[in-house]
């Protein structure tokens, strides 16, 4: 247990270092790019007092290096500043919106994986047949499609034409009030409160955005699964198993066991990068998560909020990678014990 723990600590250390890099980079971008920092932090027309306060808070009259250090210390202390747009603390706004985004991402990852793994495996077993080519073609197409385009396409078909999906008006029907916050997921919270109408509405709202993301994620994951399986199928032990006349199920297990590390790694990388897609999808569906928050902040040059969003996405990516590392370690320990 000693070594895994140390390895995890090291990963956390690396994560913190990366956070610093992100802070530094975003600081630098602002310094190089836009106009006076106090303007960015205070909105288009801060009052004289407000401005003086900002200069005081962030040390804007001091050299850039001092500003950076001060800023970094504030950020690492969890102080992300206030959005001039809403006047709220950025941190509390992000935390408030985080469950909505995480819910979307989590379901999308689950659904995408559920779609991609069997499809990729089937394609690998049917290598170079029409079935395989269809899967490959569709996946490449799905990979290349912009997320908001797919989202609009699904809306057009299922909301406008078929009229079986609800309007893209957020996380729950506008005539219902959200359930009290327990986990932050409207669906789960409504379910826990045994409010079946709210639960059903929350679920219906989830379907299209989750599908959009799952399809995007699933497309590239399918190709990854297919490739990883094919690599296994060329390995001697697999050819040998085939020569033995093992059943398709046994062969699947053999290949999957070997392909799992590659698939897990790819899934982790894609999940970590999923937030950028989620942001666009959130925007289309008025989801109100941190993705939409970040996009709107960017459009309005709400600097503190943008910085908060960048840090939040870095944190999500780091968490995904950390989780992946933990799972891999546990799997390795289990294999060694077996």
Contact positions vs another protein (CB under 8 A): 128, 236-237, 239-248
CB of 125 to another protein, least distance (A): 8
Q: Cα–Cα distance between 91 and 75 in angstroms, integer?
A: 10
- Tokens at residue 30, please? 């602002």
Q: Cα–Cα distance between 41 and 81 in angstroms, integer?
A: 9
Q: Pick the closer one to another protein by CB: 259 or 290.
A: 259
What 246-254 contacts at long range (C-beta under 8 Å, 24+ apart), as own/partner pairs, is 248/125, 252/121, 252/125
CB of 338 to another protein, least distance (A): 9
Which backbone phi and psi does 89 adopt, to 5 degrees? -70, 130
CB of 91 to another protein, least distance (A): 51
- Tokens at residue 293, please? 């928050």
CB of 236 to another protein, least distance (A): 5
Which residue reads 């495996």 in tokens? 121
- Would you call 232 exposed, middle or buried from its count of C-beta atoms within 10 A (0-12, 13-18, 19+)? buried
Q: Pick the closer one to another protein by CB: 49 or 128.
A: 128
CB of 336 to another protein, least distance (A): 13
Using CA atoms, how far residue 169 sits from 161, 179, 206, in Å, is 17, 16, 11
Q: Pick the closer one to another protein by CB: 81 or 120.
A: 120
Q: Pick the closer one to another protein by CB: 91 or 229.
A: 229
CB of 333 to another protein, least distance (A): 18
Query: How crowded is residue 165: how many other Cβ atoms within 10 Å of its Cβ?
Result: 17
Q: Pick the closer one to another protein by CB: 167 or 239.
A: 239
Q: Cα–Cα distance between 42 and 52 in angstroms, integer?
A: 10
Q: Pick the closer one to another protein by CB: 87 or 236.
A: 236
């Amino acid at each position: 247990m000693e070594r895994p723990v140390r390895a995890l600590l090291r990963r956390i250390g690396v994560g913190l270092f990366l956070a610093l890099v992100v802070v530094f980079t975003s600081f630098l971008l602002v310094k190089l790019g836009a106009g006076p920092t106090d303007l960015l932090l205070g909105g288009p027309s801060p009052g004289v007092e407000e401005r003086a306060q900002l200069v005081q808070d962030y040390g804007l009259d001091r050299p850039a290096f001092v500003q950076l250090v001060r800023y970094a210390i504030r950020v690492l202390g969890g102080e992300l500043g206030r959005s001039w747009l809403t006047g709220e603390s950025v941190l509390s706004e992000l935390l408030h919106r985080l469950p909505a985004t995480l819910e979307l991402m989590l379901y999308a990852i689950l659904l995408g994986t559920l779609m991609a793994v069997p499809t990729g495996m089937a394609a690998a077993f049917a290598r170079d047949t029409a079935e395989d080519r269809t899967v490959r073609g569709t996946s490449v197409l799905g990979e290349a499609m912009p997320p908001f385009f797919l989202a609009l396409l699904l809306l057009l078909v299922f909301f406008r034409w078929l009229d079986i999906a609800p309007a893209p008006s957020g996380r729950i029907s506008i005539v219902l009030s959200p359930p009290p916050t327990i986990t932050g997921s409207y669906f789960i919270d409504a379910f826990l409160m045994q409010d079946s109408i709210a639960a059903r509405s929350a679920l219906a709202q989830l379907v299209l955005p989750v599908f959009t993301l799952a399809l995007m994620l699933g497309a590239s994951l399918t190709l990854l699964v297919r490739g990883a399986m094919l690599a296994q199928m060329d390995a001697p032990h697999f050819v040998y198993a085939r020569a033995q006349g093992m059943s398709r199920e046994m062969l699947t297990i053999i290949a999957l066991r070997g392909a799992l590390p590659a698939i897990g790694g790819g899934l982790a990388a894609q999940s970590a990068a999923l937030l950028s897609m989620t942001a666009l999808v959130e925007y289309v569906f008025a989801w109100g998560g941190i993705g939409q928050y970040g996009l709107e902040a960017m459009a309005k040059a709400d600097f503190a909020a943008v910085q908060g969003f960048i840090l939040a996405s870095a944190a999500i990516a780091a968490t995904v990678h950390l989780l992946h590392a933990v799972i891999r370690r546990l799997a390795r320990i289990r294999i060694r014990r077996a």
